């Protein structure tokens, strides 16, 4: 299981003459194996935080330890390898490749791992089964509902067995019933497989499934959500 530690974590972007600070000296400890929801108004830095933890982007300053490792200072190639092994990323709009079947989409992340065909097949099959979508393995994304597409995307995120799953509004485009199914699936991945999960959401139902909810406002964690959040 993998834990995360952020100390005075800061991210700044330069936009012409102005500096934007989506993350402002953030302190956060995520215990190994926990399932946390992350809420906050649009523009509060949620995606920025996920991207830093995923090693997709680097902090401007501060410390970021994932599983005790200072990922902010790894070389590009080591960071890419680390990411392929440790991180599964789930998006609001699934990002499946339209010309590949569900099976082939899930297989994609394994192609950079040195595995036999047989082992690769076994892993894809297991991921599809865990995500509850094995019966649709030969369907193309356009032949699937949104909820089914998200299951395929989750299978793809877990196929390399990463200990850390990051999801950016995974139920944002789904109806209530499909959302509930996806939230149950995420909880199962946390409870049964010990994955550490950080889920960005606007969907208050997520907080019923997560162990705790973090609230981000203007790049800082707050204990009480502000007006905008409460009435969203």
Ligand X SMILES: Nc1ncnc2c1ncn2[C@@H]1O[C@H](COP(=O)(O)OP(=O)(O)O)[C@@H](O)[C@H]1O
Report how far residue 228's alpha carbon sits from residue 232's, in angstroms, rounded to the nearest whole number.
Answer: 6
Distance (Å) of CA 96 to CA 105, 152, 157? 6, 8, 11
Measured from the CB atom, is 13 or 80 closer to ligand X?
13
22 forms part of the interface with ligand X (CB under 6 A)? yes
Contacts to ligand X from residues 43-72, by CB under 6 A: 43-48
Contacts to ligand X from residues 138-167, by CB under 6 A: none
Binding residue (CB under 6 A) for ligand X from 20, 93, 112, 205? 20
From the list ligand X, Mg ion, none, pick the one residue 76 interacts with, judged by a Cβ distance below 5 to 8 Å according to partner type. Answer: none
Measured from the CB atom, is 48 or 105 closer to Mg ion?
48
Residue 209: in which H helix or E strand, if any? helix 206-209
170 forms part of the interface with ligand X (CB under 6 A)? no
Report how far residue 112's alpha carbon sits from residue 101's, in angstroms, rounded to the nearest whole number.
Answer: 19
Binding residue (CB under 5 A) for Mg ion from 47, 92, 101, 171? 47
Q: Is 25 exposed, middle or buried (0-12, 13-18, 19+ CB in 10 A)?
A: middle
Beta carbon of residue 186, minimum distance to ligand X (angstroms, whole number): 19
Ranges assigned E (strand) in 93-175: 164-168
Residue 189: in which H helix or E strand, if any? helix 176-193
From the list Mg ion, ligand X, none, pick the one residue 20 interacts with, judged by a Cβ distance below 5 to 8 Å according to partner type. Answer: ligand X
Contact footprint for ligand X (CB under 6 A): 13, 15, 20, 22, 40, 42-48
């Amino acid at each position: 299981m993998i834990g995360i530690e952020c100390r005075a974590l800061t991210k700044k972007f330069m936009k012409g003459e102005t500096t934007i600070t989506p993350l402002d000296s953030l302190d956060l400890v995520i215990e190994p194996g926990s399932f946390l929801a992350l809420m906050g108004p649009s523009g509060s830095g949620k995606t920025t935080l996920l991207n830093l933890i995923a090693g997709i982007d680097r902090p401007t300053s501060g410390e970021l330890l994932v599983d005790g490792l200072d990922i902010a200072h790894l070389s590009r190639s080591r960071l890419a390898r680390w990411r392929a092994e440790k991180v599964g990323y789930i998006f609001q709009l699934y990002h499946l490749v339209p010309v590949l079947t569900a099976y082939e989409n899930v297989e994609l992340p394994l192609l950079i791992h040195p595995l036999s065909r047989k082992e690769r097949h076994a892993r894809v099959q297991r991921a599809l089964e865990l995500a509850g979508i094995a019966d649709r393995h030969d369907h193309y994304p356009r032949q699937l509902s949104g909820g089914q597409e998200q299951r395929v995307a989750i299978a793809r995120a877990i196929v390399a067995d990463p200990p850390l799953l990051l999801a950016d509004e995974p139920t944002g485009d789904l109806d209530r019933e499909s959302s509930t199914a996806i939230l149950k699936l995420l909880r199962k991945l946390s409870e049964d497989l010990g994955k550490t999960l950080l889920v960005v959401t606007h969907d208050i139902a997520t907080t019923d499934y997560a162990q705790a909810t973090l609230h981000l406002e203007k790049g800082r964690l707050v204990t009480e959500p502000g007006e905008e959040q409460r009435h969203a």
